[in-house]
């Protein structure tokens, strides 16, 4: 556990008692704070009460009269579309509002670090798509290289649940916009920005607010190194803001759309080959085409970002390449779950928006595509460039008929349920084809989350093999 610093003797409130909320409450108590907790769920309150935390309704007027700080869990809005009542109360009374990420960065450096030969470092990864795979890949490479490394944040353990790092240790954090937008301290040693596409727009009042939340990871603390995907205008702008000159190698630009030239530091992938350039000369390369855990252009972007981050930590290209080959990938993200009679079965349930689904469709040819669910804003027109790869679509979800009407030029069957979709796709699949779950939609019309949807797909496939 990372004990929170600077709170001894203070009364600190925690709003939201899920994984991150309870973790923050424990770390605050370990740091000497008196913790008051609140959640709208009676079950969550009961669990906190069993752990000895005082329960206080923070939504009531005057609730913050003796409270020094409010710690808010990621899913609770503090500004848009409208602030939670407890957050509004705190702000009106001048109480500082933070989250577990802010607590982590203000508390990470401990007194014992004076004895370290090499201070521990933090690599923080954000972006719209690929941040989980990129974070897990960095963690895997460092682990294979024999480093003391921990994975936390949106993936792995809660940030305050990790062990105090050893000499030369590395903590890899996956951070969502919900986490970066509110943290009062953001000081990673290496910050990674994968890409940007429209998502969570109601929470951030539009794309500009969403990008601003991501940008805080770079602007607030000034990382020693910034790895930035520059295939979108926002990433290109961010790289320009962070670099002092064209040759400033504190910024590593990443692309899968074009060769990156110039005097600076860059990593790019073209036609399945990763290349690293520094000061106009090639410094490393990897053939990504036969790495099973990283299929498709979107995973090549993840590989470039992870490669760049690991290079900043002193790893050689050969060490990174060797680790790439043993990376199995993450569940529900271009996950190869089976292969039989020349047909591949791939679970990309995490493709919950059009942009991520587009990347999944581009990664494979001759696709039997299982799609559908709770559609997000913007429609499906952006999928058009990859629909030529689709042999047939099998549409699930409560609004399957409406969803299928947007798939112009694609033969589609309305299946509604996962069982029916898998049965139909498997019965019709031919050698050389891929049965791909890439929904391009949220799961909440039928499942609790995308993990449950992916698990259902896996179960239905394996029960028929």
Binding site for ATP, by residue number, is 127-133
Neighbours of 349 (CB within 10 A): 26
Determine the angle formed by the axes of helices 19-30 and 42-50, rounding to 10 degrees.
30
Nearest Cα to Cα of residue 440 among 369, 389, 346: 369
Helix, strand or coil, per DSSP, at residue 215: helix
Contact at 8 Å (CB) between 454 and 345? no
Binding residues: 127-133
Give the DSSP per-residue string, 314-347: T--HHHHHHHHHT----TTSSEEEEEETTEEEEE
The first and second tokens of residue 353, run together, are 């928006």
Q: How far apart are CA 436 and CA 204, in angstroms?
A: 31
248 neighbors 212 (Cβ within 8 angstroms): no
The pair of structure tokens assigned to 250 is 């504190």
Spatial distance between the Cα atoms of 132 and 126, rounded to a whole number of angstroms: 9
> What residues contact residue 217 under an 8 Å CB cut-off, 6+ apart?
124, 126, 175, 180, 186, 188, 191, 193, 223
Provide CB contacts within 8 A for 370, sequence distance 6+. 393, 394, 396, 415, 418, 421, 422, 425, 435, 436, 437, 438, 439, 457
Enter the DSSP assignment of 145.
Answer: T
């Amino acid at each position: 556990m990372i004990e929170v610093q600077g709170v001894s003797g203070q009364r600190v409130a925690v709003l939201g008692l899920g994984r991150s909320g309870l973790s923050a409450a424990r770390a605050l108590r370990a740091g000497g704070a008196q913790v008051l907790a609140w959640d709208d769920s009676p079950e969550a309150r009961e669990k906190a009460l069993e752990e000895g935390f005082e329960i206080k309704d923070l939504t009531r007027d005057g609730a913050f009269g003796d409270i020094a700080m409010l710690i808010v869990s990621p899913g609770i809005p503090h500004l848009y579309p409208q602030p939670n009542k407890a957050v509004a109360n705190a702000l009106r009374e001048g109480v500082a509002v933070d989250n577990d990420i802010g607590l982590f960065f203000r508390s990470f450096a401990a007194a014992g670090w004076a004895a370290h030969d090499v201070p521990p470092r933090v690599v923080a990864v954000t972006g719209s798509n690929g941040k989980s795979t990129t974070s897990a890949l960095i963690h895997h490479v460092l682990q294979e290289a024999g480093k003391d490394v921990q994975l936390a944040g949106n993936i792995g353990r809660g940030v305050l649940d990790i062990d105090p790092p050893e000499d030369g240790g590395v903590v890899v954090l996956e951070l969502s916009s919900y986490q970066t937008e509110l943290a009062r301290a953001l000081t990673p040693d290496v910050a990674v920005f994968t890409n940007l596409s429209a998502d969570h727009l109601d929470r951030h009042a539009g794309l500009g607010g969403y990008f601003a939340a991501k940008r805080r990871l770079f602007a607030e603390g000034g990382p020693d190194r910034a790895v930035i995907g520059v295939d979108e205008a926002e990433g290109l702008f961010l790289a320009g803001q962070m670099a002092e000159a064209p040759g400033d190698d504190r910024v590593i630009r990443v692309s899968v759309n074009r060769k990156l030239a110039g005097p600076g530091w860059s990593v790019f992938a073209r036609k399945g080959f990763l290349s690293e350039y520094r000061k106009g000369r090639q410094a490393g390369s990897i053939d990504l085409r036969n790495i099973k855990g990283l299929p498709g252009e979107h995973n090549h972007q993840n590989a470039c970002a992870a490669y760049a981050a690991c290079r900043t930590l002193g790893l050689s290209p050969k060490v990174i390449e060797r680790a790439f080959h043993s990376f199995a990938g993450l569940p529900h993200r271009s996950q190869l779950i089976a292969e039989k009679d020349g047909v591949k079965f791939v679970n990309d349930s995490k493709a919950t928006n059009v942009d991520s689904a587009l990347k999944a469709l581009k990664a494979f040819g001759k696709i039997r595509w299982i799609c559908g669910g709770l559609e997000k804003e913007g429609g499906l027109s952006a999928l058009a460039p990859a629909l030529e790869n689709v042999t047939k679509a099998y549409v699930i979800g409560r609004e399957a008929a409406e969803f299928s009407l947007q798939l112009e030029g694609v033969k589609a069957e309305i299946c509604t349920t996962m069982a029916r979709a898998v049965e139909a796709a498997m019965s019709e699949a031919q050698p050389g084809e891929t049965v791909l779950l890439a929904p391009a939609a949220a799961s909440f019309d039928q499942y609790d989350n995308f993990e449950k949807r992916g698990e259902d797909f896996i179960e239905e496939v394996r029960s028929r093999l």
